[in-house]
Chains A and B, each alone.
Chain A
Amino acid sequence: DAGVTQSPTHLIKTRGQQVTLRCSPKSGHDTVSWYQQALGQGPQFIFQYYEEEERQRGNFPDRFSGHQFPNYSSELNVNALLLGDSALYLCASSPGLAGETQYFGPGTRLLVL
């Protein structure tokens, strides 16, 4: 049973560009959350998707947007990239909103030059 998968593993972009990161949840999970982990910091919650809708959002600007597909996979889009967006982006999945544990993928490391 595959766990949470993310693609790509690494990405290099320049300031002002746009990026799309992808996440496939663990089998049986229908809720996907995204986190940003800057170097030397703990992960910070970006937003969560359930039933193809954004259910909760952290303190991130509108440049960060997402989508969830009918198969529960999800995308994170970041527009107008800034140097400060360089981070490890983690996707986590869980089986619904019943207080279940979130399981994390390996992350996508984004470097903005």
Chain B
Amino acid sequence: AQSVTQPDIHITVSEGASLELRCNYSYGATPYLFWYVQSPGQGLQLLLKYFSGDTLVQGIKGFEAEFKRSQSSFNLRKPSVHWSDAAEYFCAVGVGYNTDKLIFGTGTRLQVFP
């Protein structure tokens, strides 16, 4: 069965520090992978996506993610975190012929200290 695992429920970093959020997926075919961010009381905003091609993808707000097929991972990174990055981050895999549904992980809550 398809699934997404985000091992870290809660991460705390200092402003200016680097960040890596982990994501592992289970899916038999070539995955379509996404990272979304959710601020309190808000909907989900797409940070970046991987469909094919270059395994290092760039997104908005200075985020990037690397697809590693051998490790079934799609970790999200940012070299220098800003206080405004504090939010909930969700990794998702698109399943079905045309990514017609998303399977989400349980999310990682990021807290940023000044």
Considering the chains assembled together, what is the distance between the CA atoms of A90 and B42 in angstroms? 10
List chain B residues, Cβ under 8 A from A31.
100
List chain A residues, Cβ under 8 A from B99.
99-100, 102
With A99-B32, A101-B46: A48-B98 Cβ-Cβ less than 8 Å: no
B22-52: CB near A (< 8 Å → 1, else 0) gives 0000000000101010000111111001010
Contact B101 A42 (CB under 8 A): no
Within 8 A of B (CB), among A49-79: 55-56, 58
**Residue in contact with B100 in the complex, picked from A35, A40, A55, A90, CB distance below 8 Å:** A55
B interface residue count range (under 10 / 10 to 19 / 20 to 34 / 35 or more) = 20 to 34
Question: A88 to nearest B CB, angstroms?
Answer: 9
B111 in contact (CB, < 8 A): no
Considering the chains assembled together, what is the distance between the CA atoms of A99 and B32 in angstroms? 9
List chain A residues, Cβ under 8 A from B34.
101
**Residue in contact with A56 in the complex, picked from B4, B43, B96, B104, CB distance below 8 Å:** B96
Considering the chains assembled together, what is the distance between the CA atoms of A99 and B106 in angstroms? 23
**Residue in contact with A48 in the complex, picked from B45, B46, B101, CB distance below 8 Å:** B101
Contact A97 B100 (CB under 8 A): yes
Contact A101 B104 (CB under 8 A): no
With A42-B107, A101-B34, A104-B36: A58-B101 Cβ-Cβ less than 8 Å: yes
**B residues adjacent to A (C-beta < 8 A):** 4, 32, 34, 36, 41-46, 49, 51, 90, 92, 94, 96-107
